[in-house]
Amino acid sequence: MADEGNGIIRLRSSDGKVFELTESAAEISELLKDSPREEDDEVTEIDIVRVASPCLEKVVEFMKHYDEEKMKEIPTPLGGSTFNEVMDQPWYQDFVSDEKMNRDMLFNMLSAANFLGIKPLLDLTCLKVTFQITGKNAEEIRELLRLPELTPEEEAKAREEHSWIFEEA
């Protein structure tokens, strides 16, 4: 039987690519922690059919780093007015920076974090999304989230319903 935390877990993405990480690094994921495995197995392989390989690669990167450097819990209310003020750990700042992660990837990560039950990653990506939303009006948020555009009738109704939100009369 593999020692507690020393086993290897292989995650297979929806497109068949395999990523390895230690059991201790995988502990962070509720899903992986709870997944059943044989006692005498040194290597456990799990299919993550909902996550594609580019996203799963980043998730595994996060899990491995988290195993070495824990992410501080994000306080609410947020202790700053910018992302970098709230998240003061450089690696995590860099991990979700605009240069390294585009919007699609961010939302995929968010979805994957939720799916795998990785709370710190979920918090980190939610925080990033929060700062992307902050300061934007309803139209910009809709665009950011790629919500379908409203028809003129729908827009008129929404304006009537929410006239009190709009700054201009």
Partner 1 sequence: MAPKRRSPRNCEAKVSKRLKTDPNERKTEEKTQGCFIAEKLFGTDVVSDIFSFLDVRQLLRFVCVSKEFKSLLTYDHVLRATMLSGGFPLTSLDRIIPPIKNRSIWIPSPVRLLRMVCGKRCEECGEKTRFVCESFGVFLCNKCLEKSTKLLRRSKRWTPYLQANRVCLGPRKGSTRFSSSYLMTAPRKDINGDPIGPLVTLQDIERMSAMTKECESTATPAKKVAALIHTCDEQQPQAEAAVQSIVKAINDNRQDAVDRRVAVQEEKEEARDRYGEARRIKSDELMVELIKLLEEPDEPQIIAQINARQWNGRQNQYTFNEDSIVRKLVVPVLRAPSKYASKKKLQQVADELRLATGERRLMERYMQQIIDYCDHPEADHRVLRRTYRTYGLCFGFSNPAIRDILKEPLSKPRDLTDDDVQELAVQVKYIVCRKEPGEEVVEKLKERLKDLSCADDLGARSWNTWNWSWMFKEGYIQDILYEPISKPHDISDAKLDSLEGQLRPVMEKKKLIKNRMELLLEPIAEPYPTWKTRLERWTWNAKTNTCTFWNSVGKKALSNKLQNVEQLSDSEVNKMSNLLIAEIQEREASGFRF
Contact residues toward partner 1 (CB under 8 A) are 10, 12, 31, 34-38, 41-50, 74, 76-78, 103-104, 107-108, 110-111, 114-115, 117, 122-123, 126-127, 129-130, 133-138, 141-142, 144-148, 158, 160-167, 169
> 94: exposed, middle or buried (C-beta count within 10 Å: 0-12, 13-18, 19+)?
exposed
Return the structure tokens found at 93: 């700042």
Q: How far is the CB of 55 from partner 1 (least distance, A)?
A: 11
44 vs 66, which CB is nearer to partner 1? 44
Q: How far is the CB of 58 from partner 1 (least distance, A)?
A: 16
29 vs 95, which CB is nearer to partner 1? 29
Q: How far is the CB of 43 from partner 1 (least distance, A)?
A: 4
Quick one: angle between helices 103-116 and 53-68, nearest 10?
Answer: 70
68 vs 167, which CB is nearer to partner 1? 167
Sign of the Cα torsion 46, 56, 91, 81 reads: negative
Q: How far is the CB of 24 from partner 1 (least distance, A)?
A: 18
φ, ψ at 39 (rounded to 5°): -65, -35
53 vs 74, which CB is nearer to partner 1? 74
CA–CA distance, 83 with 6 (Å, rounded to integer): 35
CA–CA distance, 148 with 18 (Å, rounded to integer): 35
